[in-house]
Amino acid sequence: MAIWAKIKQLNLKQAFILGKTFLFRPGLLFPTYRATKKTVGICNRLFGKAHHKDNETNAFRHALWNFLIAEESLPQLKEKSKAIAWAKEITDLHEKLSPNPALPRAMDLHNNQIGRNLFQQEIPSEEIIEKLREMMKDAKQINQAEQVSNHTNRLVYIEKNKHSKIS
């Protein structure tokens, strides 16, 4: 997923909403971009294209993305709660601008929350990749959006990744 390519796919209304979000918080543009680019790079290196499916690697990507957005924005925002709120705002906006059907959307929102929770727990950034890889082993497969609430502290996914390099 090339970040600029995704932005260019937005229609005028979506681009306006995204632009307005950063207009009022211009200092968060680059930290958010860095976190996004870093997340995609890590996931491409670890999983190839597999993280673009609704599998465990996608759950890893969403959690990592939220963790890294909060981490990258913390120096600008100064407070952990504000960094977490920003990560939620921007990733919720992503879900709104790139709408998925109910089940993948519920999965993404849940895994986003997992990443923010890990940031809140002060997992050191140098340990986050290993922590998420361990969590992938205990991830739960779901087939209904309502099931995410049964797995509060676990990553969730829809499809089993047949070619995963999880271990």
Separation between Cα atoms, residue 151 and residue 143, nearest integer Å:
13
* CA-derived radius of gyration, the chain: 15
Tell me the per-residue pLDDT of 17-48, one tens digit each, with 9 for 90 and over: 878 888 889 999 999 999 999 999 999 999 99
* Count: domains in the chain: 1
Q: Per the domain annotation, does 34 fall within a domain?
A: yes
**Average pLDDT, integer, range 70-94:** 97
For the chain, percent of residues with pLDDT exceeding 70: 92
Closest CA to 62 of 123, 107, 16: 107
Separation between Cα atoms, residue 155 and residue 164, nearest integer Å:
15
pLDDT-based confidence at residue 2 (cuts at 50, 70, 90): low
Q: Per the domain annotation, does 117 fall within a domain?
A: yes
Q: Per the domain annotation, does 76 fall within a domain?
A: yes
Going by C-beta distance under 8 Å and a sequence separation of 6 or more, which residues neighbour residue 42?
A: 64, 129
Stronger pLDDT, 2 or 115, i.e. the higher one: 115
Q: Per the domain annotation, does 58 fall within a domain?
A: yes
Q: Per the domain annotation, does 109 fall within a domain?
A: yes
Q: What is the residue range of 79's domain?
A: 27-157
Q: Per the domain annotation, does 22 fall within a domain?
A: no
Q: Per the domain annotation, does 138 fall within a domain?
A: yes
- Say what the pTM is: 0.89
pLDDT-based confidence at residue 1 (cuts at 50, 70, 90): very low
Stronger pLDDT, 100 or 40, i.e. the higher one: 40
